[in-house]
Structure 1
C-alpha cells in the first residue's frame, strides 16, 4: 500500500531529530570524558617523592649504612626505591 506524502515527510523529520539528539549526546560525552590538567600539588608530590627516594638511597650509600635508618640495613635501598616508585607510578596520570 502506498504511503501518503505527509507520512513520508514526518519520517524524515523524526530521523533528523533523532540524528540531532545523537549528535548532542556525542558532544556531551566528549566534554565529560576530557580530563583537565593536573593540580599543582599533585605534580609537587609526584616529583617530591621521586627526589626523596633518590636522596634516601644516596644518603644510605654516602654514610655507608649509618643513615637514614641504621637498623634497616640493606632494606634502606628498598625503602628509597619504594618511595621513588610511588612517584613514578603517579606519572601515569600525567596530563
Structure 2
C-alpha cells in the first residue's frame, strides 16, 4: 500500500517587533479631559442650585443633559488615556 506524503510545515517566523516606544498622549489631552469633567459637574450643580433656570435659561431640564454629556465626554477620553 502506498504511503501518503507527509506535509512539511514551514518554520515559524515571529512577526517583526515594533520599534516604536510606548504611546503617549498629546500635552493637551489631560487638561481637556479634566476640564470636560469639571465643567460638566459645575454645569449640573448650577442647574440644581438655580432650579433649572441657568446656565442656559429657557431649556429647563435640558441643562442636566448638557452637563451629563460634558461629563461623559471626559470619561470617554479616559478610555484613550495612556
- TM category (shorter chain) comes to 0.7 to 0.9
1:80 equivalenced with 2:73 (yes/no): no
* Equivalent of 2:53 in 46, 66, 74: 66
2:40 matched to 1:53? yes
After TM superposition, where is structure 1 displaced by more than 2 Å over at least 4 residues in a row? none
Residue 37 (str. 1) matches residue 27 (str. 2): no
Unmatched segments (≥5 aa) in structure 1: 1-17
Deviation per CA, 1:17-56: give whole Å up to 9, x if none: x98xx56x622xx224x54221221110011001110000
Unaligned runs of at least 5 residues, structure 2: 1-10
Greater share of helix: 1
Q: How many residues align?
A: 73
| Corresponding residue to 1:26 among 2, 5, 16 | 16
